[in-house]
Amino acid sequence: MKSSFPRQLSISAAVLVLSLIPLLYAGVADDKNTETFTDIYGISDKAADFTIYSTIEKMDLYSPEDFIRTVVVSDLHDIGYVLYDDDIFRDQIISYYAAVSGSYEIAEAVLRNAHKNDISFGLAFSLMWAESSFNPDAYNRNVVSIDRGLFQLNSESFPQLSRDDFYDIETNVSNGLAYLRYCLDLGENEIVALAIYNAGHGRVSGRGAPLMTLEYISKILEYKSELERDFERYISQNGKIRADKKSGKNLIPVVDTRKTLK
């Protein structure tokens, strides 16, 4: 059944959308590589303006279901990271990663701490998968130290943690992702950051990453790509997100006018 928006709401929405139009182009004038509305959607700016105006004019005739939610997707983050602040999608995001990791508690802790540390969800879960296969009791004895828990925190690197701390999900995740954030800041990209996380900064900066570390990085990044593609399909089906990332550039949020009134 079609719902009718109050006229005042339509006018307010129109003012809001029109006020946002300049922002769609703000900051792109100096970037020759940024795609315009025309580049992405194949229509002229004039036609785009007409589309926006005509859609607003008919807004009181549309139901909320007729609008496809679109998001601005950063090159640095996956879609889940962008949507996490939205209450509508947060539960779906947690449910997806709970299925991936086999635990709601693990998924919630990782998502919250990854978001807090400005880390891609895909990267956080891929690293955890490579380190422990999502097993909070994972254990690996080295020559002089022990790696424990979801992010395989090393006893030498985290001397302040007790044995129980290493196996506590929240403690392990918060320390593991805080350390990954440190590695990202130090390495300035995911590849170097993962090398530092695995082999240590001294070894990577001194002699370069060993072959085992390079294979480790490749495995994580391949899993990350698969995970993010699968998540995009999942959230598109459940949340009506259309996110065309073919260019790797940001998307412009627009109303889907292919919907027709019945």
pLDDT digits (tens, 9 = 90+) for 214-226: 788 889 999 999 9
Residue 238's pLDDT is what? 59
Given pLDDT bands bounded at 50, 70 and 90, which one contains residue 66?
very low
Q: Phi/psi of residue 102, each to 5°?
A: 80, 10
Given pLDDT bands bounded at 50, 70 and 90, which one contains residue 77?
low
Mean pLDDT for the chain overall? 71
**Structure confidence by residue, pLDDT tens digits, 138-163:** 999 988 889 999 999 988 889 999 99
Count of CA atoms in the C-beta half-sphere (13 A) of 224: 23
Q: What is the mean pLDDT of residues 124-135?
A: 96
Domain ranges of the chain: 1-70+242-262, 87-239
Residue 15's pLDDT is what? 41
Q: What is the mean pLDDT of residues 2-29?
A: 43
Percent of the chain clearing pLDDT 90 (strictly above): 34
Given pLDDT bands bounded at 50, 70 and 90, which one contains residue 82?
confident
From CA 151, how far away is CA 68, in angstroms rounded? 37
Query: How remote is the C-alpha of 96 from its chain's centroid?
Result: 13
Given pLDDT bands bounded at 50, 70 and 90, which one contains residue 235?
confident
For the domain spanning 87-239, the CATH number is 1.10.530.10
A 10 A CB-CB count for 23 gives: 9
From CA 167, how far away is CA 135, in angstroms rounded? 10
Q: Which of 48-57, 121-130, 139-148, 236-245 has the lowest mean pLDDT?
A: 48-57
Residue 79's pLDDT is what? 76
Q: What is the mean pLDDT of residues 172-194?
A: 91
Q: What is the mean pLDDT of residues 234-238?
A: 70
Whether the pTM exceeds 0.85: the reply is no
